[in-house]
Chains A and B, each alone.
Chain A
Amino acid sequence: MNGRLRAVWPPVIIAVIFLAAWQLLVVVQDIKPFLLPSPSLILGNFFGDFSLMFNAALYTGTTAILGLMFGTVVGLVTALIAQRFGVVNKLITPLAAGLATVPIIALTPILNNMFSITSRTPKVIITMIIVFFPIFVNVTRGLIQVQPVQLELMRSMNARPRTVLRQLRIPNAIPFFFTAMKIAAPLSVIAALVSEYFGGPQQGLGSRIASSAANTAYGRAWAYVVASIITGLIFYLIVLAVERWAAPWTGRARSA
């Protein structure tokens, strides 16, 4: 408990000092809100319109969760296939690396045209594709990078490939999976949010940030940014909690 407190305090103190300095700077220098609103203005908007914030976060968060779920499932299945068939791995991995350089988000307008204007689906698809890469790459690595001596041990015990997968490869890949999820979960929020800039339903965080800024409601635009950060943080913390619970051996020194 003590250790955890000690780990929590420094960032909190730094955040408070940072916000105080920010507030001071805006007030003393009389900086205009369209350049940089003060923390008090942003937080005033955030708590003042909390239900708006919450609903927008709920909409974008739902998109993110759907994309995250589908992207994770597809990533896991592809990783299992890639591990099982070495050739596939040699084909998919460069392909995945190549695709990762494509600005997927930029495909949103095209996808928007393929679905109805009120549809959430294009954003879910975009989020899913973006989530797919880190999951696929990391989990494949986890399935393949098993200690050779552990593989020999399994063979000496006459384990079938299916048993090796279940008892060795998959548990070995779990820390890799959570490492990927810690990237993918906040990333899914960003992807869902940014994809909203390209049209479609207007109730999400991304749309609200854009429309508030367009209406010169800078305090509120920033309040939505705060809501976005909190949403991403919640995603991250959920992954962290699940990891602690499901894979307590991760991050430990490997036994020799």
Chain B
Amino acid sequence: MSVTSPVSTTAVQATGIWKVFNEGQANEVTALQDINLTVAPGEFISLIGPSGCGKSTLLRVIADLTQPTKGSAEVAGMSAAEARKQQRYGMAFQQAALFDWRTVQRNVELPLELQGWSKSDRAARAMELLEMVQLADFASHRPWELSGGMQQRVAIARSLAVDPPLLLMDEPFGALDEMTRERMQNELLRIRQETGKSVIFVTHSIPEAVYLSDRVVVMSPRPGRITDIVSVSLGERDEDTREADAFYASVTEVREALRGRTSGGAARARVGEV
């Protein structure tokens, strides 16, 4: 079930990544300070932290949309740049970023078109994906005829189009209401289960991070850095997961980590005192 890249046993490897904006100027910002992170194939990782702590920047470095000041990112055993060229990841943003001049189906086809797929292959693949996100009936609609949640599902279908082993998602459900959001979370987990992809998922919601993730990476701003990584072991998610004690325990753990009072860190400090 787990999809492994033939050349690598890690989905993402971030090594000593620094990103400094406006270096040497008065408005210098250290968006990322010495980020080290390994994501295993098939693993679901969330990035959480206050606004401005560098979550998007980290995602963009991994996606090769921006260059790190120092350090390097590898995706599926190759450099981020090479991985982007080979479309080894799919990306989804807070905005669906659909093209109004294309139908829903042709929006999903876009990455395939850029890869030179034939028209009939494209159409078949797009319909398969639209069925997966339950929007097959809307294939010939225009993006503006869809609700925000539906548009986001189209964007997710598009990010899955070339069947990349990795999904990079920057607050994709940020603009959705709570009900839609929970439905989308389940849908994402189902898709991920069906496809065995690795996911790096940026969110501001602690319950969302816990519900979705194998590990929650907690970040803190100025300078942007990883302060804690919380492992979540809730097993198979279902309707009861959100009410389970283990779920609340993990939520609390992440919340405390965000406040800078990590249980592990506190314990270590106490050990140090004694």
Binding site for B on A (CB under 8 A): 147, 149-150, 152-153, 155-159, 163, 167-168, 171, 174, 247-249, 252-256
Contacts and interface: CB of A to CB of B under 8 A. Distances in A.
B95 A247 contact: no
A168 B65 contact: no
Given A149-B93, A152-B93, A247 B87 contact: no
A254 B148 CA distance: 11
A52 B148 CA distance: 57
18 contacts: A149-B95, A152-B65, A153-B91, A155-B65, A155-B84, A158-B84, A159-B114, A163-B114, A167-B110, A167-B114, A168-B99, A171-B99, A252-B100, A254-B100, A255-B98, A255-B143, A255-B151, A256-B151
A255 B87 contact: no
Contact of B110 (A147, A157, A249): A157
B201 interface: no
A256 B148 contact: yes
Contacts of A147: 95, 97
Contacts of B97: 147, 149-150, 153
Interface in B130-159: 142-144, 146, 148, 151
Interface residues of B, number: 29
A252 B144 contact: yes
B175 interface: yes
A25 B209 CA distance: 76
A102 B157 CA distance: 52
B268 to A, nearest CB: 39
B111 interface: yes
A243 to B, nearest CB: 13
Given A254-B144, A256-B175, A249 B84 contact: no
B146 A255 contact: yes
A153 B93 contact: yes
B79 to A, nearest CB: 14
B63 interface: yes
Interface string B96-115: 11111100000000110110
Given A152-B93, A253-B144, A256-B151, A174 B101 contact: yes
Nearest to B81: A158
B105 to A, nearest CB: 15
Given A249-B142, A255-B98, A156 B91 contact: yes
Contacts of A254: 100, 144
A157 B114 contact: yes
A82 to B, nearest CB: 22
Interface in B19-78: 60, 63, 65
A249 B100 contact: yes
A254 B96 CA distance: 11
Given A152-B65, A253-B144, A255-B143, A158 B99 contact: no
Contacts of B173: none
Q: Which 4 A-B pairs have the closest CB atoms?
A: A255-B143, A171-B101, A249-B100, A156-B91
Contacts of A247: 101
B119 interface: no
Contacts of B175: 256
B12 to A, nearest CB: 15
B270 interface: no
A252 B89 CA distance: 31
Interface centre among A153, A171, A247 (most CB of B within 10 A): A153
B175 to A, nearest CB: 6
Given A152-B60, A155-B65, A252-B100, 7 more contacts: A150-B99, A156-B65, A156-B84, A167-B99, A249-B144, A255-B144, A255-B146
A254 B89 CA distance: 26
A40 B177 CA distance: 62
A29 to B, nearest CB: 53
B80 to A, nearest CB: 11
B142 to A, nearest CB: 6
Given A156-B63, A249-B101, A249-B142, A256 B96 contact: yes
B69 to A, nearest CB: 19
Contacts of B100: 249, 252, 254-255
Interface centre among A149, A159, A247, A255 (most CB of B within 10 A): A255
A154 to B, nearest CB: 8
Nearest to B93: A149
A156 B110 CA distance: 12
A9 to B, nearest CB: 29
Interface centre among B65, B85, B148 (most CB of A within 10 A): B65
B177 to A, nearest CB: 13
B95 A256 contact: yes
B170 to A, nearest CB: 9
A149 B111 CA distance: 15
